[in-house]
């Protein structure tokens, strides 16, 4: 469906620059604000290692902000490449959107994604990660918010090579009559020696009676692996709010501060670089979207 309706697209080819130090990242910022309720652009980013110099790998930081609808990008990351992907998806409550992201990693490549997204009338976020080459690594961290709307997150990771690593962590804030489903599925194929897999899904109801389903799942076909998963659902303990109020904060401010801290920890854990959230304005967006969520929850 997406290919049939795609009317515009962007293709970026990123190769290592022998004149630049390997540790210097290339920063890309994509801002898309579709003029209509339905939009299906395509973004393809091909990140490859420098062919002229063997030392060092390409580092790319990508920030993609879609305020109504998002394309289904494919990110093939070349050998030794590192892609840090900061995503913001803030649809209007009546919007209907389905975003699909497919990432294929080469040997020694790393992909780190931080997703900040809110719900809408229909909102699907699906990420597929293929770890088919040795020592490839993927980390996904998502801070999700839905108030009287729907949100469906699906993350599928496939390990089929040795020494591959993946971590998926999602934190959902839900309120009112929201309906949310968080799915994490990880496949460890036979022969994936020393694969390391982590899944953690959490949800916090902030008001009302939201319907939330948490589904961590692992399919393991090999013995020599490390794997752990879990799911937690529950309101913040009163003690946390009590200690925050002791600092002179009112209850609403204390709740917002605590929730922002929890969400920020998830996003930082995926990126492994805390300053990125501040430098790329992600922290301000997180504060604004959390405040908006709590305000809708009290209406």
The pLDDT tens digits of the residues spanning 241-278 come to 777 777 777 888 888 889 999 999 999 999 887 777 77
pLDDT tens profile 64-78: 554 433 334 555 566
- The pLDDT, as a whole number, for residue 158 is 96
- The pLDDT, as a whole number, for residue 54 is 24
Secondary structure of the chain in HEC code, one letter for each residue: CHHHHCCCEEEEEECCCCCCCCCCCEEEEEEECCCCCCCCCEEEEEECCCCCCCCCCCEEEEEEEECCCCCCCEEEECCCCEEEEEEEECCCCCCEEEEEEEEEECCCCEEEEEEEEECECEEEEEEEEEECCCCCEEEEEEEEEEECCEEEEEEEEEECCCCCEEEEEEEEEEEECCEEEEEEEEEECCCCCCEEEEEEEEEEEEEECCEEEEEEEEEECCCCEEEEEEEEECCCCHHHHHHHHCCCCCHHHHHHHHHHHHHHHHHHHHHCCCHHHHHCCHHHHHHHHHHHHHHHHCC
Average pLDDT score, the chain: 79
- The pLDDT, as a whole number, for residue 47 is 53
Q: Answer with the residue of higher pLDDT: 159 or 24.
A: 159
Compute the average pLDDT of residues 85-108.
Answer: 85
Compute the average pLDDT of residues 78-88.
Answer: 79
Q: Answer with the residue of higher pLDDT: 290 or 245.
A: 290
């Amino acid at each position: 469906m997406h290919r049939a309706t795609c009317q515009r697209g962007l293709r970026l080819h990123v190769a290592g620059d022998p004149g630049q130090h390997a540790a210097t990242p290339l920063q890309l910022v994509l801002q898309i604000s579709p003029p209509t309720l339905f939009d299906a652009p395509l973004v393809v980013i091909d990140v490859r290692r420098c062919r002229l110099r063997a030392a060092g790998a390409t580092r790319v930081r990508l920030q993609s902000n879609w305020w109504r609808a998002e394309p289904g990008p494919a990110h093939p990351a070349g050998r030794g490449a590192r892609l840090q992907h900061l995503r913001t998806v803030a649809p209007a409550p009546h919007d209907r959107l389905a975003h699909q992201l497919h990432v294929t990693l080469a040997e020694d490549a790393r992909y780190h994604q931080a997703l900040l997204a809110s719900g809408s009338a229909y909102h699907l976020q699906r990420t597929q990660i293929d770890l088919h080459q040795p020592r490839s690594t993927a980390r996904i961290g998502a801070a999700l918010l839905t108030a009287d709307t729907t949100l469906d997150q699906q993350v599928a990771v496939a390990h089929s090579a040795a020494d591959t690593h993946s971590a998926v962590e999602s934190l959902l804030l839900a309120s009112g009559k929201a309906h949310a489903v968080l799915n994490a599925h990880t496949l460890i194929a036979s022969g994936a020696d020393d694969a390391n897999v982590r899944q953690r899904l959490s949800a916090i109801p902030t008001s009302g009676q939201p319907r939330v389903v948490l589904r961590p799942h692992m399919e393991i076909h090999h013995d020599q692996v490390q794997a752990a998963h879990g799911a937690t659902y529950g309101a913040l303990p009163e003690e946390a709010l009590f200690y925050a109020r002791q600092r002179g904060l009112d209850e609403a401010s204390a709740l917002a501060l605590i929730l922002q801290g929890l969400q920020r920890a998830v996003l930082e854990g995926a990126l492994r670089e805390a300053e990125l959230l501040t430098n790329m304005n992600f922290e301000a967006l997180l504060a604004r979207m959390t405040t908006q969520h709590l305000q809708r929850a009290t209406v």
